[in-house]
């Protein structure tokens, strides 16, 4: 089982998630899009141990806070192998478009579709969901989908950016729609939702 805390960070109000394996206390941060005093205080209160940073994609508003967390806590950074070029190019990750500096960090583990990350006793499965970017992906664990900018409540992420593709997005949405059962969905921005709600009300799932 996992516990989830959400911190809304940065100029574009990115949802940054702290997830904890309840059995072992192992911790991961998903999409640290900017500095967060609250997140730092929480991690420090737990002894300053952070096991993973998990990136759903490489746009600046999802990665600005990575370098700071790496310097303080030395977690293992995970991202899709297909997203590496975007992470490295300011034009692709939109940082240069907005004159934003991303402090450099290393990706320690390159993920491919179906890879499993062990957070304590919790298995987190990574699935490729290209569309918003070529290397976008979702993390699935304990009945939850951390969807980044792939699925929003009754919508999907934009597909007018470098490496975006509406055709790929629709295939990714169909893949998520066809997952068996219901899931809580924690998107990269705005409100939480469920897969069953999206099957009923998201026009991109019709």
- Per-residue tens of pLDDT for the chain, all 206 residues: 999 999 999 999 999 999 999 999 999 999 999 999 999 999 999 999 999 999 999 999 999 999 999 999 999 999 999 999 999 999 999 999 999 999 999 999 999 999 999 999 999 999 999 999 999 999 999 999 999 999 999 999 999 999 999 999 999 999 999 999 999 999 999 999 999 999 999 999 99
Domain limits for position 14? 2-205
Contact 132, 150 (CB under 8 A): yes
Measured distance CA(184)–CA(173) in Å, rounded = 15
Q: What is the pLDDT of residue 152?
A: 98
Element containing residue 67 per DSSP (H, E): helix 66-73
Instruction: Please report the sign of the dihedral spanned by the C-alpha atoms of residue 147, residue 177, residue 194, residue 155.
Output: positive
Residue-by-residue DSSP string for 42-53: HHHHTTS---EE
Q: What is the pLDDT of residue 54?
A: 99
Domain of residue 126, CATH code? 3.60.15.10
First to last CA, the chain: 32
- Token readout for 32 is 């640290």
Radius of gyration, CA atoms only, the chain: 16
Beta strands in 10-167 (DSSP E): 14-21, 27-30, 52-54, 76-80, 109-111, 116-119, 122-128, 137-141, 144-148, 151-152, 155-156
Measured distance CA(161)–CA(86) in Å, rounded = 11
Q: What is the pLDDT of residue 64?
A: 98
What is the number of structural domains in the chain? 1
Contact 93, 60 (CB under 8 A): yes
């Amino acid at each position: 089982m996992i516990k989830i805390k959400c911190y809304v960070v940065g100029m574009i109000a990115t949802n940054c998630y702290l997830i904890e394996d309840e059995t072992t206390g192992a911790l991961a941060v998903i999409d640290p899009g900017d500095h967060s005093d609250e997140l730092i205080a929480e991690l420090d209160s737990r002894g300053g141990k952070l096991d993973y940073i998990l990136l759903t994609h490489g746009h600046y508003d999802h990665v600005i806070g990575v370098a700071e967390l790496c310097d303080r806590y030395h977690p293992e950074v995970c991202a899709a192998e297909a997203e590496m070029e975007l992470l490295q190019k300011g034009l692709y990750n939109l940082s240069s478009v907005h004159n934003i500096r991303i402090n450099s960090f290393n990706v320690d583990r390159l993920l491919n579709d179906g890879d499993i990350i062990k957070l304590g006793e919790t298995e987190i499965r990574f699935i490729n969901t290209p569309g918003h970017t070529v290397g976008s992906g979702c993390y699935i664990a304990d009945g939850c989908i951390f969807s980044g900018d792939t699925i929003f409540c009754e919508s999907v992420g934009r597909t007018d950016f470098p490496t975006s593709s509406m055709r790929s997005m629709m295939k990714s949405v169909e893949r998520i729609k066809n997952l068996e059962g219901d899931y809580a969905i924690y998107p990269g921005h705005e409100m939480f939702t469920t897969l069953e709600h999206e099957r009923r009300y998201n026009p991109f799932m019709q």
